[in-house]
Amino acid sequence: MHETNEIINKWKEVIDAIKEDPTFRPITLESWNRCKNLGVNADQLIYTFLSKDELIQKQHENYEIIKAATPYLQHLSLSLKGKPHMVVLADKDGWIIAVHGTPEDLGGKAAGLYIGANWSEKYIGNNGVGTALALGEAVLVYGVEHYGMPYKGCTCLGIPIKKNNEIVGVIDISVSNEHAHPSRLNLVQACVNSIETQLSSASGEDYDIDKIEKLLATGSLLSTTVHDIKNPLTIIKGLAQLGTMTSKNDKESEYFQRIVGHVEELTSMLNNFLSFFRNEEEGFSKCSPTEVMKEIIEEVQPICKVQEITLEYSIKGNIYTKLNTSLFKRAIHNLIKNASQVLTTGGKISLRIDCNEKHLHIDIEDTGPGLPSNIEDDIFKPFVQGRTNGTGLGLFMVHYVITKVHKGHIWFKTKQNIGTTFYIEIPVKEMLEDESVLSQNEH
């Protein structure tokens, strides 16, 4: 927390200095000189757009980078939900080939903030895309540092994307000045690193997942997101505790205590979320997987009842082994939650658990619409979203917990308008009790 406050304080000092004198940063003065030499009129910028056919051609030419970048553009835009912003992908010549966010809130097409526009410095002055291309490195252009007058209310952060050491594009985040924050740099850089890893692979499809895991583990992306969530939770908890102390009757006090309890549970979940990427044996303990599954079933039954979802299950075997119980439960919860979110009233979720002396087998079947065919091959990759309001990290985490933490396997079968079944197989590490058979079925 101390380091975070120190970074923010330094950020505020830099912003105050920029407001006092925009040219105090050499990078700004140099870019202004380039713009002047290019003949850019700060008051009358030239907005240049591709025609519809030209845009389609550009997108076709850059299909590989668009496909690799799209999940990350969506994630970055989601992190700015509720704030005026643009997250754009530009090609190596500065043409905007993909846009996410609310460009109309920043000026839209009338200000050149639109798909198909060219953001090179020669057209609109220094900015996250044009200046990143000119310098070949990450740039931040704050408000009054923009050469073009229409953009002085915005802050741009641009980072070039490279393949084989050559720039192939740029990702840029543009937000109103009041929403500019230094943490965005780590977030965008993490996304660009992952995109570059994917692009550098021979097929353009299989990228080094271990590198992404290490990237997330270092906190470049994950820690920023988690701490953004934990900060308001801390405030909520403090207000609830204050409410407990000042409440006038037992009922009010009980409500505030429940809020405190739920916040503590959420905080614990976030801490567990961060621990997904630890490779050590910490967190493993001897337990009965079938008993753990029964605990999970008890926890999800109320949710299913509220949504009028039929929950069926069968449990076979009662062998003790070693599991990271907290992470294992979180992964199974995630799969069941995903199933419940795609089911309509009257849908059904079926769980089949079989724990023998060699493996723990779990099947989770739903009667939902099936997985979208366009994401089936990438479903366990980070930032691949099956729902518009998802984060794209849930199934990636499930895959990590099953395959990396527990050295197991997970796969699925899906049929459109029939449903999806996820299959899990985890090796049993140690048998401590004789097998007994339990069968239950609840509707």
Q: Which residues pair with 89 in a beta bridge?
A: 98, 171
What CATH number did the domain enclosing 409 receive?
3.30.565.10
* Whether residue 269 has pLDDT greater than 90: no
Q: What is the dihedral of CA 419, 422, 423, 424, to 10 degrees?
A: -160
Mean pLDDT, the chain, rounded, equals: 82
Q: Are residues 334 and 250 in the same domain?
A: no
Q: Are residues 289 and 372 in the same domain?
A: yes
Q: Which of 161, 173, 158, 155 is nearest to 76 (CA)?
A: 173
pLDDT at site 98: 94
pLDDT at site 117: 96
For 25-50, write each residue's pLDDT tens digit.
888 999 999 999 999 999 999 899 99
Domain around 399:
284-427
Q: Is residue 213 part of a domain?
A: no
Q: Is residue 267 part of a domain?
A: yes
- Final residue of a structural domain among 172, 204, 236: 204
* Whether residue 279 has pLDDT greater than 50: no
d(CA 378, CA 400) in angstroms, rounded, equals: 14
* Whether residue 166 has pLDDT greater than 80: yes
For 193-204, write each residue's pLDDT tens digit.
888 887 876 344
Q: Is residue 212 part of a domain?
A: no
Label the pairing between strands 348-355 and 310-316. Answer: parallel
Beta-carbon contacts of residue 427 (< 8 Å; ≥ 6 apart):
358, 359, 360, 406, 407, 408
Q: Are residues 289 and 271 in the same domain?
A: no
Q: Are residues 247 and 191 in the same domain?
A: no
Structural domain total, the chain: 3
pLDDT at site 203: 43
Q: Which of 417, 307, 333 is nearest to 371 (CA)?
A: 417
pLDDT at site 354: 94
Q: How confident is the model over 80-102, as a mean pLDDT?
A: 94
Window from 65-69, 86-90, 418-422 with minimum mean pLDDT: 65-69
Q: Are residues 263 and 336 in the same domain?
A: no
Q: Is residue 216 part of a domain?
A: no
d(CA 29, CA 37) in angstroms, rounded, equals: 12
Q: Are residues 312 and 260 in the same domain?
A: no
- Final residue of a structural domain among 204, 237, 264: 204
Q: Which residues pair with 283 in a beta bridge?
A: none
Q: Are residues 176 and 251 in the same domain?
A: no
Q: Is residue 439 part of a domain?
A: no
3-state secondary structure of 80: coil
Q: What is the DSSP letter of 205?
A: S
Q: Are residues 187 and 294 in the same domain?
A: no
SS3 track for 296-337: HHHHHHHHHHHCCCEEEEEEECCCCEEEEHHHHHHHHHHHHH
Q: Are residues 184 and 317 in the same domain?
A: no
The pTM assigned to this predicted structure is: 0.50
* Whether residue 440 has pLDDT greater than 50: no
What CATH number did the domain enclosing 66 receive?
3.30.450.40
Q: Are residues 70 and 160 in the same domain?
A: yes
d(CA 288, CA 293) in angstroms, rounded, equals: 9
For 351-410, write each residue's pLDDT tens digit.
999 998 889 999 999 999 999 888 888 888 876 766 554 556 778 889 988 998 899 999
- What is the chain's Cα-based Rg? 26
* More confident position, 396 or 129: 129
Total residues found in the chain within this entry: 443
Q: Are residues 416 and 327 in the same domain?
A: yes
Six token digits for residue 219: 């906190």
Beta-carbon contacts of residue 346 (< 8 Å; ≥ 6 apart):
308, 309, 310
* Whether residue 155 has pLDDT greater than 70: yes
Q: Are residues 376 and 341 in the same domain?
A: yes
Separation in Å, CA 84 to CA 79, 155, 179, 311, 387: 12, 11, 8, 42, 23
